Amino acid sequence: MIELGQHAQYIVGAWSGVTLVTLGLILWTLRDAANQKRRLEELESRGVRRRSAKTDSPS
């Protein structure tokens, strides 16, 4: 481990805080995206579609 001097706790604290918040932001964004995708798929599986959506009509 690199020697960070007498103020190591401030350096480690700053980097740890930024890592936690950044990871939290990434995870929150991914979770929200997955939730919306799931809700959209649930609606479409129940036959609720946009009017502009292509339908699987027999030819």
Partner 1 sequence: MAWSRFFIWPLAAISALFFALGVWFAFFNSPADYQMGDTVRIMYVHVPNAWLSQMVYGLMAVSAVGSLVWRHPMADVSMKAAAPQGAAFTAMALFTGALWGRPTWGTFWEWDGRMTSTLILFLIYLGLIALWRALEHQANGPRLIAIVTLVGAVNIPIIKFSVDWWNTLHQPASVFRADGPTMPGSILMPLFLMMFAFTFLFALLQTLRMRTEIERRRVRSLERRHVAEGATA
Q: Closest distance between partner 1 and the C-beta of residue 13, in Å?
A: 5
When asked if residue 17 is in the footprint of partner 1 (CB under 8 A), the reply is yes
- Pairwise CA distance, residues 56 & 18, whole Å: 48
* Per-residue tokens: 27: 């995870």
**Tokens 């129940």 — which residue?**
46
Is residue 46 involved in binding partner 1 (CB under 8 A)?
yes
Quick one: 45 or 59, whose CB is closer to partner 1?
Answer: 45
Torsion of CA 13, 17, 18, 21, to 10 degrees: 180
Q: Under the rule (CB under 8 A), what is the footprint of partner 1?
A: 2-8, 10-11, 13-15, 17-18, 21-22, 24-26, 29-30, 32-33, 36-37, 39-40, 43, 46, 48-50
